[in-house]
Homo-oligomer: A and B are copies of this chain.
């Protein structure tokens, strides 16, 4: 097999014919595969069953500070839960407020509060003619859904190998008073898996926004989600809160994280981390919104892990389950797609996704063909604001939920579809 772009028309036509035959066979088989969402596999969920054995008597449901976690109170979270979330995010517990079960909800609340009440004294966004937002792309569809829901105009910024294109970010943020924030997944980014370099983190921390109340939304969703053992094989990023402090911009960032992909997805603990001034402002709203979040679940998690070493150890068990899944997809791409020269993909050291760029103008077609063959992928365009991939080439692969065998099969289908779409493009069919 040689690179498609070097093939002649006849050779391509022949290849297409054989691929179409293969595709027909796939469609005839009754396949049902899903690589659409970053859901942990059942084997990963089994790792946290110990959560159900944490408490055996009512006396054990007291926090270190003596709070009976079965009753009301403690607005901003138990100390031990703050410590746990701080360890995960790589910051100090005094920067942390612990919330309910999902960091997405915390991000939503943060935007909603800014819309109705502004940010630490800034004009509430609803009173502004226009609010804009920077979106490194490809990125996380659910982030973009939140900003879209509040009528915020999203601006694409290229996500490079080491983070967002900072030349563009610095220019836009310093010039446009309407730009109120930027979405960032700084470590093992969704979907490309890249991590922000120290330089990028520092440049972000040193931004001089024209807008009042500009915030970096730092979704550290995959902070401890390494695929490999040993620090040398793991991405590390700088503590953005510390870097913002050093830069004289202590209030510039909100950091978010949860245990959703550490223990049970949707039944974990989420948190925000920020400067004291930010936290004080947030707590005023929180005190209206709730009496407090689920402390029993906070304590359950803190007890289950014991300390940060417990979390790191636990994450290596996840890595063991995840590695063969990533490998199954990557092996197939390497063997079957690479020689054709019509695809590019990432090989991340952590996180939940592989990002595949097919030939320009082909992503929608590939996803649609896969669907017809019984395989669900994240919608083409989803990793872009308004669901619009300007080059229609990016496909997010989520290898976590299926088995390595299923992933091999799924990758085969994906590759066949990718090839067909590419040849049809080359042949102008």
Contact pattern, A 276-298, Cβ under 8 Å of B = 1, otherwise 0: 00000000010111111111110
Q: In the complex, what residues of B have CB within 8 A of residue A55's CB?
A: 52
- Assess the B297–A294 pair: CB atoms within 8 A: yes
Give the complex CA separation of A429 and B295 in angstroms: 48
Q: Is A347 in the interface zone, CB < 8 Å from B?
A: no
Give the complex CA separation of A105 and B75 in angstroms: 12
- Assess the A265–B101 pair: CB atoms within 8 A: no
- The distance from the CB of A172 to the nearest CB of chain B, in whole angstroms, is 25
Q: In the complex, what residues of B have CB within 8 A of residue A115's CB?
A: 116
A149 and B68 in contact (CB under 8 A), knowing A290-B108, A294-B266?
no
Q: Is A42 in the interface zone, CB < 8 Å from B?
A: yes
Q: Which of A224-268 contact B (CB under 8 A)?
A: 260, 264-267
14 A-B residue pairs with Cβ-Cβ distance under 8 Å, sorted by A, are A39-B71, A39-B72, A45-B68, A45-B70, A69-B264, A71-B265, A72-B265, A100-B294, A102-B293, A105-B289, A105-B290, A149-B288, A265-B291, A294-B297
A150 and B116 in contact (CB under 8 A), knowing A101-B293, A291-B104?
yes
Q: In the complex, what residues of B have CB within 8 A of residue A39's CB?
A: 71-73
Given contacts A72-B260, A267-B295, 13 further A-B contacts (CB under 8 A): A42-B58, A42-B68, A42-B71, A52-B52, A71-B266, A100-B100, A102-B293, A105-B289, A126-B126, A142-B291, A145-B288, A264-B296, A297-B297
Give the complex CA separation of A294 and B297 in angstroms: 10
- Assess the A108–B288 pair: CB atoms within 8 A: yes
Q: Is A31 in the interface zone, CB < 8 Å from B?
A: no
- The distance from the CB of A385 to the nearest CB of chain B, in whole angstroms, is 14
Q: Is A49 in the interface zone, CB < 8 Å from B?
A: yes
- The distance from the CB of A281 to the nearest CB of chain B, in whole angstroms, is 13
Q: Which of A33-52 contact B (CB under 8 A)?
A: 37, 39-40, 42, 45-46, 48-49, 52
Q: In the complex, what residues of B have CB within 8 A of residue A146's CB?
A: 288-289
Q: Is A2 in the interface zone, CB < 8 Å from B?
A: no
Q: Is A56 in the interface zone, CB < 8 Å from B?
A: yes
* Nearest opposing residue in chain B for A105, CB measure: B290
Give the complex CA separation of A145 and B73 in angstroms: 17
- Assess the B294–A267 pair: CB atoms within 8 A: yes
Q: Is A342 in the interface zone, CB < 8 Å from B?
A: no
Give the complex CA separation of A39 and B68 in angstroms: 12
Q: Is A112 in the interface zone, CB < 8 Å from B?
A: yes
Which one, B57, B116, B291, B292, contacts A112 given CB within 8 A? B116
Contact pattern, A 146-180, Cβ under 8 Å of B = 1, otherwise 0: 10011000000000000000000000000000000
Q: In the complex, what residues of B have CB within 8 A of residue A265's CB?
A: 70-72, 291
